């Protein structure tokens, strides 16, 4: 069963040649509409389904005695390299089906619903063969009818009383969005999910919050508790083989961003190993990250016609090396930490692409139809950097909208990582192709990017950015704007006719170090008695916005402890009290994830040239009066981080002493290195 061919002709030719080399002279069966994908010079034994089904055609039967025990050839996704043919034997598949069926008992006689192509092992084994194994009906729907319309997916589950289906994290996010936006729609009133007991989710990290919200919504329509089952599986394990049957219940109290993947089903075992100097390994302790390895009758034995890949895939004691970094927690649950080559290492600091992609998806929603983050090494640079590639959710000829999204992506990634990303904005989804399971291969996109395969798209992006800058330069309206414009042009060595007061800093390829240089130069030029916060530059990206913000700061005669992280929202404001270092940057990530309330940070006095506080009483008095001036009436929500927890607690006492009892929310978090000395 072949995985889908590439949209790119050169890559498709390479795939066909690779399959010819792997299988010798295979028989190819396709549809008439796909014949154009094959070139005649390959001399293929090519048949079409239409021709085979036509009356009068003779069908030749081929028998290969040496492969009697072989059930299926399944091609790997090839997300981390060239696809390999996995040999799935009959005994392996049957053992896998028995294991899957034992994980959770489902409603009797309820069908399975599938929208994933049968070329993927999850669709073929998890849904199709398991339904046959259990004697159940199965409903198959084309993914093009489901992915753009998650409401239709829920309606079909309800209409057919389906007990099992599949929804990876990106699709759960779509379900969450549609259930939120259409909370009172008529179609929801008739939704009956009382038969739904197993909504499998895998193939990419599952966001805890998304799982929790979607689970709650599905349960409200009758679905079983713990209906979402996150898990882990590969082509080599006949799809899902490790399942979390209590999705997000342990992850929420543990404060995890992504759900754990649970325990092994019957027929498979897992371990996490750490390599040592002599080439052997030791077993990792609980919560220690290492290499994930699998063993058992559900695990495959070989890649077809590829003895080298088979040998490299197994340890000396015959455990399968998945290529994933993982840990097993104290409860025995599996947690993936990414594939070893996926981590982005910038000056020794490591970032996970999954986390960056999650932040972008949360901030943009349908504005971006596809987004991917991957590492790359710029020419003549000693460290890696970040590349973000995306496709807009809707085509637009409005350059203002286009550049607005571009600048917002840069700002969010810089706030999240401190690193200015390279932006690869694409106009066509075919340039970021998904697999059958709707995953985008970072490795394939990176290889094409580093080989210059996106040169035309990069040039087009630079042309749009330059066009927008030159058409919207703007003229300085006052001396401060003129001064800041001069400093930016000098600092970044840009000519005056390509950068004006209304151009965004993020439209030029600046780094966090460049921002530090700029803030220092501005302070010297204006002879400021305080340091310009970097966050002020990041939040006010144009000369005009920065001049206004700086002007307000300069005009302030008194120290103001309040920093506005979010000004809008319907719920009571959240007040955040700084840790011991006194900075606000620690709360920027939190503010990105809360959009239902205003968020204010309390900034310590003394960082910007003011005299520091003399004692705790003075701190509490100033912070109390600042909060009261901004929010005269309760209830009050105050959270502190590390040292700030003590300040938050003492602040609550101020209200209890001065006025009637109010309600407070207090969050406590202490660094392990600090706790020993507190």
- Residue 376: alpha-carbon gap to chain centroid: 18
What is the per-residue pLDDT for 557? 45
SS3 percent helix, strand, coil of the chain, rounded to 5, is 40, 20, 40
- Is the entire prediction scored with pTM above 0.75? no
Residues belonging to the chain: 678
Give the pLDDT score at 246.
92
Note if the bond before 635 is cis, omega within 30 degrees.
Answer: yes
* In contact, 631 and 573? CB cutoff 8 Å: yes
Question: If you ran DSSP here, which 8-state letter would residue 124 be given?
Answer: I
DSSP code of 507? G
Question: What 3-state DSSP class applies to 651?
Answer: helix
| Token digits of residue 243 | 């399942």
Does the annotation count 40 as an active-site position?
Answer: no
At residue 331's C-alpha, the angle toward residues 330 and 332, to 5°, is: 95
Cα separation, 454 vs 240, in Å, equals 35
Residue 590's SS3 state is helix
DSSP-based three-state secondary structure for 117? coil
Please state whether beta strands 637-640 and 574-577 pair in parallel, antiparallel, or not at all (unpaired).
parallel
Q: What is the pLDDT of residue 271?
A: 96
Burial readout 267-287 (b: 16 or more C-beta within 10 A, e: otherwise): bbebbbbeeeeeeebeebeee
Q: Comparing C-alpha atoms, which of 672, 537, 558, 535 is closest to residue 626?
A: 558
- Amino acid 237: pLDDT: 95
Q: What string of DSSP letters covers 342-385?
A: G-EEETTEEE-HHHHHHHHHHHHGGGEEEEEEEEE--TT-SS-E
Residue 659: HSE in the Cβ half-sphere, 13 Å Cα cutoff: 12
- 518 and 537 in contact (C-beta within 8 Å)? yes
Nearest alpha-carbon partner for 626 in 642, 643, 602, 608? 602
CA angle 113, 116, 118 (to 5 degrees): 100
Q: Say if CB 263 and CB 95 are below 8 A apart.
A: no
**Domains of the chain and CATH, by start:** 9-62 (no CATH), 85-340 (3.40.50.12780), 343-471 (3.30.300.30), 479-555 (1.10.1200.10), 562-675 (3.40.50.1820)
CB 514 within 8 A of CB 492: yes
The active-site residue out of 570, 642, 665, 675 is: 642
Q: Give yes or no for a contact between 602 and 534, defined as CB atoms under 8 angstroms apart.
A: no
Question: Between 479-492 and 512-525, two packed helices, what is the crossing angle to 10 degrees?
Answer: 140
Q: Distance (Å, rounded) from C-alpha 122 to C-alpha 353? A: 24
Q: What pLDDT score does 64 carry?
A: 47
Residue 103 burial by Cβ neighbours in a 10 Å radius (0-12, 13-18, 19+): buried
Q: d(Cα 573, Cα 170) in Å, to the nearest integer?
A: 31
Provide the pLDDT for residue 81: 45
Characterize the bridge pairing of strands 112-114 and 138-140: parallel
Distances (CA, A) of 82 to 22, 305, 598: 11, 14, 49
The pLDDT score that the predictor gives to residue 277 is: 73
Please name every residue paired with 575 in a beta bridge, in sequence order, or none if there are none. Answer: 600, 638
User: In whole angstroms, what is the distance from residue 472 CA to residue 502 CA?
Assistant: 6
Element (H, E) at 574: strand 574-577
Digit-coded pLDDT (tens) for 452-478: 899 999 998 888 887 777 777 778 888
Straight-line distance from the first to the last Cα atom of the chain, in angstroms, rounded to the nearest whole number: 61
Q: Which residues pair with 387 in a beta bridge?
A: 374, 422
**Intervals of the chain under pLDDT 50:** 64-68, 78-81, 348, 382, 557, 660-663, 665, 668, 670-678
Nearest Cα to Cα of residue 645 among 576, 584, 587: 576
H or E segment to which residue 174 belongs = helix 169-181
**What crossing angle do the helices spanning 455-471 and 399-417 adopt, rounded to 10°?**
110
Helices H / strands E in the chain, number of each: 23, 25
Q: What's the pLDDT at 182?
A: 86
**How many CB atoms neighbour CB 589 within 10 A?**
12
Q: Report the alpha-carbon distance of residue 518 to residue 50 in Å, rounded.
A: 67
What distance in Å separates the CA atoms of residue 575 and residue 599, rounded to the nearest whole number? 6
Alpha helices in 430-502 (DSSP H): 442-450, 455-471, 479-492
What is d(CA 342, CA 325) in angstroms, rounded to the nearest whole number? 10
DSSP secondary structure letters along 306-319: -HHHHHHHB-TTS-
Q: Exposure string (b/e) for 151-184, b if CB count within 10 Å is 16 or more?
A: bbbbebbbebbbbbbbbbbbbbbbbbebbeeeee
């Amino acid at each position: 069963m072949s995985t889908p061919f590439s949209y790119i002709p050169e890559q498709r030719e390479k795939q066909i040649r690779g399959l010819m080399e792997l299988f010798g002279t295979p028989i190819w069966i396709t549809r008439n509409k796909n014949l154009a994908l094959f070139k005649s010079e390959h001399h293929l034994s090519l048949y079409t389904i239409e021709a085979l089904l036509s009356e009068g055609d003779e069908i030749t039967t081929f028998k290969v005695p040496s492969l009697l025990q072989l059930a299926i050839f399944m091609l790997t996704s090839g997300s981390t390299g060239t696809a390999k043919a996995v040999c799935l034997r009959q005994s392996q598949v049957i053992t896998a089906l028995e294991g899957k069926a034992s994980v959770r008992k489902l409603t009797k006689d309820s069908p399975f619903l599938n929208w994933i192509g049968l070329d993927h092992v999850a669709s073929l084994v998890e849904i199709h063969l398991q339904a046959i194994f259990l004697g159940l009906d199965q409903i198959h729907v084309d993914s093009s009818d489901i992915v753009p319309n998650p409401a239709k997916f829920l309606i079909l589950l309800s209409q057919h009383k389906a007990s099992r289906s599949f929804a990876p994290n990106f699709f759960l996010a779509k379900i969450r969005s549609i259930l939120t936006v259409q909370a009172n729609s008529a179609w929801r009133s008739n939704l009956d999910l009382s038969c739904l007991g197993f909504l499998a989710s895998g193939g990419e990290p599952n966001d805890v919050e998304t799982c929790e919200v979607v689970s709650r919504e599905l349960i409200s329509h009758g679905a079983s508790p713990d209906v979402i089952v996150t898990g882990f599986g590969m082509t080599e394990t006949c799809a899902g083989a490790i399942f979390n049957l209590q999705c997000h219940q342990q992850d929420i109290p543990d404060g995890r961003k992504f759900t754990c993947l649970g325990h092994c089903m019957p027929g498979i075992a897992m371990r996490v190993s750490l390599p040592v100097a002599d080439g052997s390994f030791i077993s990792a302790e609980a919560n220690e990250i290492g290499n994930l390895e699998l063993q058992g009758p559900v695990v495959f034995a070989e890649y077809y016609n590829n003895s080298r890949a088979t040998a490299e895939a197994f340890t000396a004691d015959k455990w399968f090396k998945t290529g994933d970094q993982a840990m097993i927690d104290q409860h025995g649950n599996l947690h993936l930490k990414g594939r070893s080559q996926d981590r982005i290492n910038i000056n020794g600091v490591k970032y996970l692409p999954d986390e960056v992609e999650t932040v972008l998806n949360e901030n943009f929603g349908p504005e971006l139809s596809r987004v991917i983050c991957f590492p790359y090494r710029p020419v003549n640079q000693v460290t890696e950097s970040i590349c973000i590639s995306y496709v807009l959710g809707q085509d637009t000829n409005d350059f203002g909208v286009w550049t607005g999204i571009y600048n917002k992506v840069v700002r969010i990634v810089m706030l999240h990582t401190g690193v200015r990303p390279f932006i690869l904005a694409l106009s066509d989804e075919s340039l970021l192709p998904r697999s059958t399971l709707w995953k985008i291969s970072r490795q394939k996109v990176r290889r094409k990017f580093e080989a210059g395969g996106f040169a035309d798209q990069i040039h087009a992006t630079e042309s749009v950015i330059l066009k927008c800058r030159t058409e919207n330069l703007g003229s300085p309206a006052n001396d401060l704007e003129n001064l800041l414009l001069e400093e930016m042009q000098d600092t970044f060595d840009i000519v005056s006719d390509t950068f004006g007061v209304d151009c965004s800093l993020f439209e030029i390829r600046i780094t966090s170090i460049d921002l530090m240089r700029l803030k220092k130069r501005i302070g010297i030029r204006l002879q400021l008695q305080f340091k310009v916060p970097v966050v002020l530059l990041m939040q006010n990206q144009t000369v005009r916005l920065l001049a206004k913000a700086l002007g307000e700061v300069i005009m302030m005669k008194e120290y103001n402890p309040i920093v506005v992280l979010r000004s809008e929202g319907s719920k009571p404001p959240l007040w955040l009290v700084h840790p011991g270092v006194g900075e606000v940057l620690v709360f920027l990530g939190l503010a990105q994830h809360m959009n239902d309330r205003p968020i204010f940070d309390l900034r310590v006095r003394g960082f910007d040239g003011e005299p520091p506080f003399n004692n705790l009483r003075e701190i509490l008095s100033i912070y109390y009066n600042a909060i009261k001036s901004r929010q005269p009436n309760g209830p009050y929500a105050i959270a502190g981080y590390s040292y700030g927890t003590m300040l938050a607690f003492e602040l609550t006492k101020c209200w209890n002493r001065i006025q009637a009892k109010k309600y407070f929310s207090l969050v406590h978090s202490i660094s392990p290195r600090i706790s020993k000395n507190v």
